[in-house]
Structure 1
Amino acid sequence: MVNYYSADYIFPVSAKPIHNGIIGVDENGEIIGVYESGAKEISDKTITKHKGIITPGFINTHCHLELSHLKGKFAKGTGLIPFIEAVIGQRNANEKEVVKAMQSADSEMKRNGIVAVGDIANLAISKETKEKSSLYYHTFIEILCFEPEKAQEVFRDGLALCESFDGLPSSITPHAPYSVCKEIFRFLKQLHKPETNLLSIHNQESEEENKLYRYKSGQFIDFYRKLNRDIGFFKAQARDSIQTIVPLLPKRQPVMFVHNTYTNMKDIFFVDRFAGNVTWCLCPNANLYIENRLPKIDLFLNQDSPITLGTDSLASNDKLCILSELLTLHAHFPHLKLEDTLKWATLNGAKYLGIDHQYGSLEKGKKPGLNLISHAQGLKLSENSTVTPLI
């Protein structure tokens, strides 16, 4: 059985929007065709018509499912380091509570039209939730080690945790420049086929990160002192953090830099020159929640490296909803075109995760999910826009 859907616009993403277009989907969710209005081959078919825009399912390339139980527990606008300290102090909780919160977050993402997730993990606790979910998950096993003498042990533990997700897509990744020593990057280069190991690195979420790398000053010095960590080995680099770590990465290794709140044009030019396979991930609502600041979006436009979107965690966001991220972007940067930002929300993320053969665009043979964005104004979102998964 094939169901046919029509809307004011069908948005394939891989092609131009189709006014009053029609899409046919079989009982397994596979697209059997995308048609112009009045196409002869479906003239005798029953078509369900909607007001709004039909898009592929959304791809959330940055999430922390493990932190879902921390929803609403932290004040907004405190800055990154106080936020990190709060997470460290409160992330441990009853396992049943954590699992229940993860299951609820998984269901929330599904209701909000998300079909695939790039999820950060520090433990194996999310595996069962992911195995039972209808969403596609790629798990980024996160390494935190700023002490060179512990790097080998921590890296081995990370590999073991990655292996525990056997049967689910996963890879091992550094957390952030301020939390990973150079030795970890050396071990990453020694992986068999590092180009198959996707990286997701928190980047320049706070100006304090740049202060640490430029001058070995700022709040991170006090942060590590509070943790009783000796960082005497660390030397100021007289340049931003991202410019320091990019030369340490394997050239062909796919890397997604996440947040980029304080990334500047010099950083982007440096990355374009020295890095190989780079993606920029934006998490606007989390940026506002933590630092009350957004990245300089215009710097990332018209660059070779693609952009994706993420929600971050419920510890730093009120909801796990990619449409909400789009609404925030368009409210703050009204010159952005939906034709571009929908690509960030769908196809670019699917390509980064290596699942664009199935997800990310409305094309014959794919099973990307169908979202209906209602209360749109032609090809523009409104503050009242909502999303409903059709399949």
Structure 2
Amino acid sequence: MVELVRAAKAATMIPGAPVIKDAAILVDQGIIREVGTFASLGKVHTGDVLDLGDVFLCPGLVNAHSHLELAHLRGKCPSGRGFVVWVEDLLKQPIFDLEPDALDEAVKELKRTGTVMVGDIATRFAKEMAGMLAASGLFFAVFCEAIGETVPKRTFIPSGEFEAGFLSVAGHSLYTTHRNVLRAAKKESRERGLPFSLHLAEHDDEVAIMAGEPSAFLDLLQARGRLLDFEPPRKRPVRQALDLGLLDETTLAVHCVKVTDEDIVAVRETGATVCLCPRSNEFIGVGRAPWEKWFASGTPLCLGTDSLASNHDLDLWNEALYIKKNFDGELSLEDVLAMVTRNPARILGAGDTLGTLEPGKVASFALVPDTLQALF
């Protein structure tokens, strides 16, 4: 079926391209064939027209970082009291229970708010999460999270092929995942040509653990029998990630809150992408990433909601609104939209399919809310 989609405005998100007024997008069997104005495309199109009216279209959104396994913990975790308190409470929750109704509601929320792809972290149920996302119609990258001290004999990534997504591997963190496991996980993702994800420099305790300084979080972990033989590298988190070879153009470094100017330069030079999760950072109480310095550095930036154990919802527009309202300096609408469209699509391996509105891409759209437009 060939259809012409009409909207008052459309941001194609092709770098440097202007917003199209009275936009038209020719769609054939779910694939974009042409993009232009209705005045031009409407003259030659003789089929159906879907007139969306006075709306502002952009590509479907890509949530670069979530933990859908924790969907059932919405509203059940403490906020604003710091990382250690949040983790202590989280560990008391049924974190390894999968609740189908909660997952179904989470997927509905993602789709309702314009998200078409998610980069999801799966600690225990990677194949189940991939299967659920495949059935939902969302595009996805499910990262099997590597934690602990043991390198698997064969692979980190369970077998499975999915039409709209794939499985990859992520390191949980520099302190909960042994350095040999992190190296092996990154090596496998690199050999398979897959993206790699890592929580990096999220909170003060991570910096202290890396430096060999006293840490309430390390005490908590060791009381639970973890990290008993941990040897601190006595480096900042970014430096340790660099020295382990974890940062390159296929790495998605998540959070990056506790960083120095030197750290920012070092990450930029590797070509890695940074995923900011500003509302999650505020919810937990770990502080605020230096968004302005990350942006000024030229580092590719994405936005992620993180989990419903550390956020109020999975609405990426709320993430975009938050960062725009609190950004100290100039941030254009294209800059913000890039963080939720083309940048995450590229790092999650979907740059040929999603992220921009141009011929050959999947015809997936989101509506830019009036509340965000009003800020520009």
Instruction: Verify same fold: TM over 0.5.
Output: yes
Match of 1:201 in 2: 198
Match of 2:24 in 1: 23
1:63-88: per-residue Cα shift (whole Å, max 9, x none)?
11100000000121121222222222
User: How far off is 1:22 after superposition?
Assistant: 1.2
Aligned with residue 80 of structure 2, among 77, 80, 85: 77
SS in 2 for 1:20: strand
CA distance in 2, matches of 1:230, 1:311: 28
SS in 2 for 1:131: helix
CA distance in 1, matches of 2:50, 2:161: 42
Match of 1:62 in 2: 65
Q: Which moved more, 1:76-85 or 1:337-346?
A: 76-85
Match of 1:323 in 2: 317
SS in 2 for 1:301: helix
In the alignment, is residue 248 of structure 1 matched against residue 244 of structure 2?
Answer: yes
CA distance in 2, matches of 1:121, 1:57: 23
In the alignment, is residue 184 of structure 1 matched against residue 181 of structure 2?
Answer: yes
In the alignment, is residue 228 of structure 1 matched against residue 225 of structure 2?
Answer: yes
Whether contact under 8 Å (1:80, 1:290) holds in the other structure is yes
The runs of 5 or more residues in structure 2 that have no matched partner are none
Q: What's the RMSD between the two structures over aligned residues?
A: 2.5
CA distance in 1, matches of 2:266, 2:360: 39
- Aligned length, in residue pairs: 367
Match of 1:386 in 2: none
The structure-2 alpha-carbon separation of the partners of 1:3 and 1:38, relative to structure 1 and needing over 3 Å to count, comes to: closer
1:324-347: per-residue Cα shift (whole Å, max 9, x none)?
100001111163211111011100
Instruction: Give the counterpart letter for 1:270 in structure 2.
Output: A
Summarize the alignment of residues 127-138 of structure 1 with structure 2, pairs less than 5 Å apart: 127-138=130-141
The structure-2 alpha-carbon separation of the partners of 1:278 and 1:93, relative to structure 1 and needing over 3 Å to count, comes to: closer
User: How far off is 1:204 after superposition?
Assistant: 1.5
Aligned with residue 354 of structure 1, among 349, 355, 367: 349
Aligned with residue 370 of structure 2, among 343, 367, 375: 375
CA distance in 1, matches of 2:216, 2:197: 24
Whether contact under 8 Å (1:60, 1:310) holds in the other structure is yes
User: How far off is 1:220 after superposition?
Assistant: 2.4
SS in 2 for 1:89: coil
Match of 1:288 in 2: 282
The runs of 5 or more residues in structure 1 that have no matched partner are 383-391
1:258-311: per-residue Cα shift (whole Å, max 9, x none)?
0112222121122234x3x40000111111111163211111113343111111
CA distance in 2, matches of 1:65, 1:282: 17
1:194-217: per-residue Cα shift (whole Å, max 9, x none)?
361321111111111111112332
CA distance in 2, matches of 1:156, 1:85: 32
1:167-208: per-residue Cα shift (whole Å, max 9, x none)?
351112210112112111332365385361321111111111
The structure-2 alpha-carbon separation of the partners of 1:308 and 1:192, relative to structure 1 and needing over 3 Å to count, comes to: closer
Summarize the alignment of residues 264-283 of structure 1 with structure 2, pairs less than 5 Å apart: 264-273=260-269, 275=270, 277-283=271-277
Match of 1:336 in 2: 331
Match of 1:262 in 2: 258
CA distance in 2, matches of 1:76, 1:323: 21
Instruction: Give the counterpart letter for 1:224 in structure 2.
Output: L
Whether contact under 8 Å (1:243, 1:271) holds in the other structure is no
The structure-2 alpha-carbon separation of the partners of 1:116 and 1:188, relative to structure 1 and needing over 3 Å to count, comes to: same
1:21-48: per-residue Cα shift (whole Å, max 9, x none)?
3122436332222213632753777562
Match of 2:360 in 1: 365
Whether contact under 8 Å (2:204, 2:286) holds in the other structure is no
CA distance in 2, matches of 1:44, 1:254: 41
Instruction: Give the counterpart letter for 2:53 in structure 1.
Output: H
SS in 2 for 1:51: coil
User: How far off is 1:353 after superposition?
Assistant: 1.2
Instruction: Give the counterpart letter for 1:266 in structure 2.
Output: E
Whether contact under 8 Å (2:27, 2:34) holds in the other structure is no
CA distance in 2, matches of 1:141, 1:184: 13
Match of 2:56 in 1: 53
SS in 1 for 2:305: coil
Q: TM-score, normalised by structure 1?
A: 0.86
Whether contact under 8 Å (1:61, 1:309) holds in the other structure is yes
Match of 2:109 in 1: 108
What stretches of structure 1 move > 6 A for 4+ residues in a row? none
Whether contact under 8 Å (2:24, 2:38) holds in the other structure is no
Whether contact under 8 Å (1:205, 1:261) holds in the other structure is yes
User: How far off is 1:322 after superposition?
Assistant: 0.9
CA distance in 2, matches of 1:123, 1:108: 23
SS in 2 for 1:141: strand
Match of 1:306 in 2: 300
SS in 2 for 1:280: strand
The structure-2 alpha-carbon separation of the partners of 1:243 and 1:40, relative to structure 1 and needing over 3 Å to count, comes to: closer
Q: Which moved more, 1:129-138 or 1:37-46?
A: 37-46
Q: Which moved more, 1:30-39 or 1:42-51?
A: 42-51
Whether contact under 8 Å (2:168, 2:189) holds in the other structure is no
Match of 1:39 in 2: 40
